[in-house]
Structure 1
Amino acid sequence: MTRPLAVGLAGLGTVGAGTLELLRKNAELIAARAGRAVTVTAVAARDRTRDRGLSIEGLRWYDDATALANDPAVDVVVEAIGGSEGTARATVEAALAAGKPVVTANKALLAVHGAALARTAEAKRVPLAFEAAVAGGIPVIKALREGLAANRFTQVTGILNGTCNYILSTMRDRGREFTEALGEAQKLGYAEADPSFDVDGIDAAHKLAILAALAFGRPVDFSAVHVEGIRNVSALDIKLAEDLGYRIKLLGMARWTEAGIETRVHPCMVPADYPLARVDGVFNAVVAEGDFVGRVVLEGRGAGAGPTASAVVADLIDIARERHTPVWGAGLADLSPVPSIPMENRAGAYYLRLMVVDRPGVIADVTAALRDAGISLESMLQRGRAPGEAVPVVLTTHDSTERNIRAAIRRIESLDTVVEAPALIRIETF
């Protein structure tokens, strides 16, 4: 009889506890698909007394996760601690150095240190698997790295953070402002007490850095990702977007051009008929464009104990079956240092909302600023009249560059008739 795969589980929070529960509940099914039993034999966590709703009877306990990683009776380490530094990084480095396969859901660790970790994994000839690091239960890593491996990708675009997607959906459906929708998300457990990691776009940027490395065969580079969050999106902008035939989504976009690779995370106006426009609530989705396969859309739950555990255990089954793919889809020597395109070179259309004092000459001053920056208008909308008071004016532009639109905004902001910072949202037409 084949010996069970002995798993050391570092971290017993949402992901770790979910993984333990899934391995126990579906043990027979998993054993059939893995070719042998997959069993947690050791765990590491900070608080041994905490009630996690699961029995840890019979499991070897470690207070130090790096000691678990060096346990000779552990075949594979699952890192479910989180964070790019500290214990999580030390545990993964220790496991790889000891020649043990690692499974992790830690997007921050991979985005920041993925190149170095891949070098160690390749040198030790062991898997570093991370299906759970991006989009939870959606098998997007396997799709890009294996299922679509024969394709050259032109772009990969995704809704990569369920918290932001829930907030924007709530703002649209209920007319809520950002702070109200965020409070509701926190009450429902969709947002942390400190939501900055999510709402400022950092979580999505970590995931996008991983997807870009896989899609374009280059070393992972989090520092190249332009990052903006959703704090400045207003209910008014969401309503106006609907009127213009768009929906506002926080997107992560990795796009190939002849000059290099764009990687950016920011709010976008998306045409209402585009697949990602219809993805609401806490769901995630990824759209990949390949030269032979065309457009592939993957959608599902991007977080939570169940979906994330599903992805972790899928990696464990691959390891049990000795299916081993290079960390970034190809050997490190075959990765290409494709240059990154700075955000100021982004080309496309823009939505610009101004709050201006309603008096003669205001629009002429605004359009002069745009004209002098080389920007042409596609449309202009002014809602109502209120002489002497502030009114919203909405402009959409033809394609321009980020550099030019920023220059125009600096001049517009200096006008004494513009009473608040202009709202700028990029229009993506795909």
Structure 2
Amino acid sequence: MAVRLALLGCGTVGAQVVRLLHEQADDLTARVGAPVELAGVAVRRPDRVRAVSLDRDLLTTDALGLLKRPDVDAVVEVVGGIEPARGWLVEALRQGKDVVTANKALLAEDGGALHDAAVAGGADLYFEAAVAGGIPLLRPLRESLHGDRITRVTGIVNGTTNFILSAMDATGAGFTEALEEATELGYAEADPTADVDGFDAAAKAAILASLAFHTRVTAAEVYREGISEVTSADVASAREMGCVIKLLCLAERVDGAVAVRVHPAMIPRQHPLAAVGGAYNAVFVEADAAGQLMFYGAGAGGSPTASAVLGDIVAVARTVVARRAGGNGLRQTGLEAYAELPVRPIGEVVTRYHVRLDVADRPGVLATVASVFARHGVSIATVHQTGRSSDATLVIVTHRAPDSALTATVAELRHMEIVRSVASVVRVEGETPAG
């Protein structure tokens, strides 16, 4: 007896899921123990569906009606967005139908509602494709490392911004030029806001933190900065320090709490994440027993994402077959929040900083600036000064300090007559990992 799926959405990813189900039908039957078939495909505009291996009779515009059908065993959602996807998936889970989703925005905003619905309906919830595309990352976090204590997750989880920053580092181009290149090559959307302003990465950071620390973290609780303010001067300064700038998502366990943030950061070129170029993704996981682990690969695109969706489909289909044989299968949602750790505000996060100031070039300026840092408890590690006419540039790298202390320091500097401008503030992360 076949395992029958309701597919919600048939765009770039959905079309690739259809293709893989068709091309790998025999292998899937062998892996699952039963054929895996589409019961129907819900789309808004059937005339625009381009999946070549799809039987057009399967198309419908009634997603809710499709997922409620008694012959549907599981629901696969690749539509994206919050509504109507949330209503559809909650209904499916409450009915006891397992769900596979790639919807990072929904999971980051209201994963708790999906978890609760899955528990109420006795259904499974899988979402490997929601973070880092085809990289097998979420299942290791929620299964392979479930017996370990994860302390920190650091990742490059947005291919568009990584391509832009890699281009800036390689060519010396400014942000605007690098963004134009990314758009021309198809790495950036016509409206790149979700990527370059960090919204996409923040949603993924929330999911990673929720899994790693068994605590519900929403995207709204993730501190977020984008990369549009990163300049070629910042990139050059990072290079002089032996660093590279990346848009990082960082989730860490600190003193009984969780800190989750997304922002540009300088990391040493010896760090494994520094070598991740182009539109690739990578996530660096640190755990008590397992130590340091690296997950790397294509983070987006129809085929890689569909590969992750298909892996979840196999897991769900096996569970369906096991239940039919009288077993219970493996019940899981991956979003258990038993730890309930508080989420730390950004002001309490401690790290290092690279601060570039345009100042008046006259005696005593450096001492005056240094006194401001000292007054707020921010220790200076290095200072580099270059002069030009009556002005100078100070590049200051600090020791570790709370974000609130650095923020207060910068606020005071901005109001000083000798400081022409605070040109940039970039965090410095990642001691070189031990070999």
Q: Does residue 343 of structure 1 match 2:346? A: yes
For the Cα contact (< 8 Å) 1:66–1:87, is it kept in 2? no
Question: Structure 2 CA distance, aligned partners of 1:421 and 1:59?
Answer: 62
Residue of structure 2 in register with 1:363 after alignment: 366
| TM-superposed deviation, 1:154 | 0.8
- TM-score, L = length of structure 2: 0.93
Match of 1:307 in 2: 304
Contact 2:384 2:394 in 1 (8 A): yes
Q: Give the C-alpha shift of residue 51 in structure 1.
A: 5.0
The structure 2 residue matched to 1:236, chosen from 213, 233, 248, is: 233
Write the deviation string for residues 248-305 of structure 1: whole angstroms up to 9, x where unpaired: 1111111111241111111111111111111111111111111111111110011101
Deviation at 1:138, TM superposition (A): 0.8
Matched, 1:173 2:140: no
Structure 2 match to 1:246:
243
For residue 389 of structure 2, the aligned residue among 378, 383, 387 is 387
Match of 1:81 in 2: 79
Shift of 1:424: 0.8
| Divergent runs of 4+, >6 A | none
Instruction: Could you tell me which runs of 5 or more consecutive residues in structure 1 were left unpaired when the two chains were aligned.
Output: none
Equivalent of 2:140, from 136, 140, 143?
143
**2:155 is equivalent to residue 158 of structure 1:** yes
Residue identity matched to 1:361: G
SS of residue paired to 1:54: coil
User: What is the deviation of 1:245?
Assistant: 1.3
Identity of aligned residues (%): 42
Asked whether the equivalents of residues 348 and 428 of structure 1 are also in contact (C-alpha less than 8 Å), the reply is: yes
Residue type of the alignment partner of 1:399 = R
Alignment-derived partner of residue 39 in structure 1: 37
Shift of 1:55: 4.1
Does residue 1:113 correspond to 2:110, yes or no? Answer: yes
Distance 1:309 1:153, change over 3 A: same
What per-residue deviation string (whole Å, max 9, x for no partner) do you get for residues 134-153 of structure 1?
11111111110111111011
Aligned partner of 1:419 in structure 2 is 420
CA contact (8 A) 2:413 2:422 kept: no
Partner of 2:326: none
TM-score w.r.t. length of structure 1: 0.94
Superposition deviation, residue 325 in structure 1 = 4.4
Q: Please state whether the residue corresponding to 1:230 is helix, strand or coil.
A: coil
**Offset at residue 201 of structure 1 (A):** 0.9
The match for 1:226 is 223
Secondary structure of residue in 2 paired with 1:120:
helix
Q: Does 1:20 align with 2:22?
A: no
Q: Secondary structure at the match of 2:393?
A: strand
Q: Secondary structure at the match of 1:303?
A: coil
Distance 2:248 2:142 in 1: 21
- Partner amino acid, structure 2, of 1:63: T
- Cα distance in 1 for partners of 2:129, 2:21 equals 15
> Shift of residue 191 of structure 1?
1.1
Q: Which whole-Å CA distance do the structure 2 matches of 1:425 and 1:369 have between them?
A: 18
Counterpart-to-counterpart distance in 2, 1:395 and 1:59: 65
Corresponding residue of 1:57 = 55
The more displaced of 42-51 and 282-291 is 42-51
Cα pair 2:115 2:335 within 8 Å, conserved: no
Secondary structure of the residue aligned to 2:292 is: strand
Using a 3 Å threshold, how does the CA distance of structure 1 residues 113 and 373 change in structure 2: closer, same or farther? Answer: same
What is the SS of the residue equivalent to 1:416?
coil
Distance in 1 between residues matched to 2:147 and 2:259, nearest whole Å:
22
Q: CA RMSD in A?
A: 1.6
2:189 aligns with one of 186, 189, 192: 192
Output the CA distance in 2 between the equivalents of 1:32 and 1:396: 58
3-state DSSP class of the match of 1:349? Answer: strand
CA contact (8 A) 1:355 1:418 kept: yes
Q: Which amino acid aligns with 1:67?
A: G
The answer to whether the 8 Å contact 1:15/1:305 transfers is yes
8 Å Cα contact 2:353/2:399 also seen in 1:
yes
- Counterpart of 1:347, as a letter, is V
Q: Residues 281-300 of structure 1: matches in 2 within 5 Å?
A: 281-300=278-297
Q: Distance in 2 between matches of 1:411 and 1:400?
A: 16
Residue 324, structure 1, aligned to residue 324, structure 2:
no
Q: What secondary structure is seen at the aligned counterpart in 2 of 1:280?
A: coil
Which among 188, 200, 204 is matched to residue 201 of structure 2?
204
Verify: 1:375 aligned to 2:378, yes or no: yes
Of 237-246 and 320-329, more deviation after overlay is shown by 320-329
Separation in 1, partners of 2:45, 2:422:
48
| Aligned counterparts of 1:418 and 1:32: Cα–Cα separation in 2 | 69
How far apart are 1:58 and its partner, in Å?
4.8
> 1:353 & 1:328 partners in 2: Cα distance?
42
Q: Is the 8 A contact 2:210 2:217 kept in 1?
A: yes
Q: Deviation per CA, 1:339-359, whole angstroms, max 9, x where unpaired?
A: 111110111211001122433
Counterpart CA distance in 1 for 2:276 and 2:7 is 33
Give the structure 2 partner of residue 29 of structure 1.
Answer: 27
User: Whole-Å Cα distance in 2 between the matches of residues 66 and 357 of structure 1?
Assistant: 65
Deviates more, 1:149-158 or 1:53-62: 53-62
Q: Which string of whole-angstrom CA distances, capped at 9 and with x for unpartnered residues, describes residues 4-58 of structure 1?
A: 2111111111111111111112222222222222222311111111151524325
Pick closer, same or farther for the CA change 1:180–1:325 going to 2, 3 Å: farther
Aligned-partner SS, 1:145? helix
Number of corresponding residues: 422
